[in-house]
Every structure is written in structure tokens, then in C-alpha cells.
Amino acid sequence: MKKLFGTDGIRGLAGKHPFETDFVKKIGFAAARVAVARLNGSRKGKPSVIIGMDSRGSGPSIKAALSEGLAAGGFEILDLGLVPTPAVSYLVKREGADLGVVISASHNPPEFNGIKFFSADGLKLSDPEEASVEGLLASPDFKVPAAVPGVRRADFSGDYEEYLLSTLPDGFTLEGVKIVLDCANGAASELAPRVFKKLGAEIKVMGASPDGTNINVGCGALETGPMRAETAAWGAWCGVSFDGDADRCMLSDEKGRLLDGDDIISIAAPHLKSGGRLKNSRVVLTLMSNCGLIKHLHSMGIGVTQVAVGDKNVTEAIEKEDLSLGGESSGHTIFREFAPTGDGLLTALQVISAAREDGRPMSAHASWKRFPQEVRSLKVESKPALEKIPGFQEMIEEWERRMGGEGRIFVRYSGTEPLLRVLVEGESDGLVKEIADGIIDFYGRNSGRASAGGAQGGASGRHTVEGK
């Protein structure tokens, strides 16, 4: 069976494999089996699972099928309805549940959907646990016994709201501060405006009318243009764009300039360090983070650990090295002091509170020097191993020579979408663009000539080529 889990759970087109009704039931049953095995007999009574989802129209039918599979595995089900992904991560631990599930495809278009699982500690399932789920599903003898789900609806949004507010300094207020919120027509549509209003902010809300078909459409963390334009036009102090399931965010300063995940780290890391809250004076970044950020952090005595793309990889490194902060340039940020996974609302609140401490405008923050960077995405029908494409490695090495050792090239397949992603970074803007165009062109002309076999990945020198 083809690998099911990507870098952020299971993703695909709704109604297509792996989201056919019968197969979704199997996914639920397999996850239940793996979760029960993890309990190892420690649970007295029936195990429980907390389920939430974003605003996609396909969500309810996937939830119904998944619930049947979970019930077949003996689970009682607590249905939270429309909630941000990090709310499930928080509540599964607080409520003592044995498993958490979110039905969401995050930043993907509305025709996609996905399933993310969280263990009892609020963390995403480990790679071995995901492999165990896939192993069960690969067996032709794996059947789901009939079961009627025992589903209980619950609204913990108020509890989650209070938890978010509790992470802020005593007395913190946004009284009279103008902030633009773009909720991506997704899971933050009700909660985000409520939280910021409670802090006294004067808000202008965009993308908060989910109808099942408009999540992430022309809005959200991947489409920040409307939010940034409104922030500048309205004279807001800042703007915030969440993605569909609100596990990440992007910001804007008062001039409409984008502040991405690297900027978020550049504000949060020194703030935590100055307060003695940056454990081991080190942060975790992915290979997509700008080299300029790393130089900036080093200049302030802050070390950097870099990992492969995926917020789960960031979380694992944070846990392993006992750190307190990590993130991706895409806006996934983990403030481990408060949460084990990325949380868009939490991130926005932490960054805004940190930036407002000195009375300067948002544009005065995140002033580090960014290396010119080009990020490209190419839609692909298949994902041949990059090192098996004739001349691909040699082409990358030639571009590296042209860069003269100042910069980097990073090529990988998306773990959640049918895309090839290319990042090129260097001191010359013109050369960076030329290289990015050249890689996309070479791949388009030669990917069909890839030889069979071999792992989809590899790395050498200052460039990184990943196939999965």
C-alpha cells in the first residue's frame, strides 16, 4: 500500500482515496487499535477520543465514517464540532482523553480534506505509530466490525479561549488597538474575533463566513494580500492571517509588510531570552528558514537547530533538546511553555504582546537582514526520486558553483500535496531567480526520464535534495 501519512497527517481529495467512506472507517478502526495498544491495559473503562474539524463541506461525512471505525475499536466519542486544530491538542490532554482527531486539510483548498491524530499527551502520532496504522490498513484481512458510535457533543471553546488568555502577561490589554483579522473562512472564524475583542482590540474581521466551500479561498495564511492591504488602508497596528485550521498564522505590520514565520521567531526568541524563558538559548528552525535569520539569531547568542520541513519535526527536536521555541517560515510556531504543537491564535497573541512591550510600531520589529530568496512550487503527477532524474544532481551542483558558496538550494516534494517545492537563497537577487527558474525548467523537461528504484531522497554539500 502507498504511504498514507504525509508530514501533517493524511491528506487528499474528498471522496477520492483514501477518503472513501469504507476506507475512512478502516482508518478510524486502525487508529483505535494502535491507541489501545499504546494504553497497554492502563485504561479502566472505555477509552475516549476527542474529535474536531474545520469548515470544509466534506467534514461531516468523514467524521461520521471515522466515528464508526473508532466506535468499532471501543472508543467513546466527544465531538467538539468546528474548532481549531490546537484546541483538540490542548483538550485531549486536559480532558484525559486517549486520542484526539482533527478532520482538516489545513491550508489546502476546500476540495481537499485530511485527518490528523493526536496522542493522549497532545502530540501528533509518532512515525512508528503512523506506520502501525498503515500496517493494519495494508492487510487484506483487516475488517471493521459493525458498531453504532456513542457520540456526545460538547463545546469547550470557552475553556480554550480562557486558556489562550491565561498565557498573556498579567494586565495585558489591547484596548483601542486596531487589528485586522483574516480567519480564512475556517476554524478560527468565531473564536479569533472573540478573543481579540475580549482584550479590548478594535478589530476588522475578514474571511469569517465559512460556507463549506470557501475555506482558504482568496484569504488565509497563504493569501495574505487582502489582509495586508486592509491593515495598511485602515491604519491598523498589525494584521493577522490564520490558515484553515488555525494551527499557524502570518502577520502584517502597519505598513502592510508581511511578517512570516521567520519574522515571528526573530521577535519571539530574543523576547523569551531577555526574560530567561528561552531554554538553552536555542531555537529549532526548518531547512526552509532564511539564512539571514540564523545569522541574526547567532549575533544575539541564540543557537539554532535545523530539521526537515514539518511542524512535527520541529516539535520532536524541541522535546529532544528540551527547548522552548521553534517554528517554520510557513508560520507554524511552537511555544512549548504553553502548548506542544503549533497554534495560530497563541502565536499571534504571544508575538503581539512581545512587540507591544516597548511601545514601538510593529514595523520596528523583525528588522533583521533577509537573504534574497525564491520559493517555487510545481504541480506534479508523480514523485520520481530526484537523484534518479538524469543530470539533476549535476545541475544543482553547477548552480552551487555559480553561487560561489554564498547561499543554498533546497529541493523537495511536498508531504501533503502533489507539488515539487524549490527554495533558492543567496546574496544576488537576480541569480537566485535565475536558479529557481532553471531548476523548475530542468525538472519539467527531464522528470519523465527518471530511472526506477531507489529511495526518494538524498542530500549533499550545501544543497539539499529530498524526494519525499
Active site residues: 106
- Cα-based angle 255, 257, 259 (whole degrees, multiple of 5): 130
Measured from the Cβ of residue 238, the count of other Cβ atoms closer than 10 Å reads 23
Note the Cα 294 to chain centre separation in Å: 21
Helix, strand, or coil (residue 112):
strand
Contacts of 38 (CB under 8 A, 6+ apart): 119, 120, 129
Give the Cα separation of 35 and 126 in Å (integer). Answer: 11
Instruction: Decide: 467 and 387 in contact? Cβ < 8 Å.
Output: yes
Pick from 68, 64, 43: which is nearest to 53 by CA?
64
Note the Cα 351 to chain centre separation in Å: 17
Backbone angles phi and psi of 456, in degrees to 5: -85, 75
Instruction: Fill in the amino acid letter for 422.
Output: V
Per-residue b/e over 417-437, b at no fewer than 16 CB within 10 Å?
bebbbbbbbbebeebbeebbe
Number of Cα atoms under 13 Å in the Cβ half of residue 187:
31
Set of cell numbers at residue 309: 520541513
Instruction: Decide: 58 and 20 in contact? Cβ < 8 Å.
Output: no
Give the Cα separation of 465 and 54 in Å (integer). Answer: 33
Write the DSSP symbol of residue 9: B
* First-last CA distance in the chain: 16
Set of cell numbers at residue 217: 479561498
